[in-house]
Amino acid sequence: MSWVVLIASGMLEAVWATALGKSNNFKKPVPTLIFAVALAASMAGLAWAMLGIPVGTAYAVWVGIGAVLTAGYAMLFGGEKATVIKVVLLMGIVGCVVGLKLVA
């Protein structure tokens, strides 16, 4: 169950990071509210997952999931240019996250 919560928390990291970018320095209320709620839920989930997963592994997986999803969203919807090398490097992060699960 810790891994499910950790993955969901990593996904919420991408939500709050994207909302932070859309908040215009906390001047837009809806993205700011989404940021705050997603941040709190993401941190709470990470903390809970760390009860059953070592801190270093949990944090690396959480950051990796959040980074890949945030970058992927930006490339699909945010105007960030997608290149083959970016996609390959993001896939490398995914491979590392999967590897950490396999050796846990």
So what's the pLDDT on residue 32?
A: 98
So what's the pLDDT on residue 74?
A: 96
So what's the pLDDT on residue 3?
A: 96
**C-beta of residue 46 within 8 angstroms of C-beta of residue 9:** yes
So what's the pLDDT on residue 14?
A: 98
Q: Output the tens digit of pLDDT for each of the chain's 104 residues.
A: 999 999 999 999 999 999 999 999 999 999 999 999 999 999 999 999 999 999 999 999 999 999 999 999 999 998 899 999 999 999 999 999 999 999 97
HEC letters along the chain? CHHHHHHHHHHHHHHHHHHHHHCCCCCCHHHHHHHHHHHHHHHHHHHHHCCCCCHHHHHHHHHHHHHHHHHHHHHHHCCCCCCHHHHHHHHHHHHHHHHHHHHC
State the Cα–Cα distance between residues 82 and 78, nearest whole angstrom: 10
So what's the pLDDT on residue 78?
A: 84
Tell if the pTM clears 0.85, that is, is over it: yes
* Residue numbers of the domain that contains 45: 2-103
Q: List the structure tokens of 14.
A: 């991408």
Number of domains composing the chain: 1
Residue listed under structure tokens 């590897």: 99
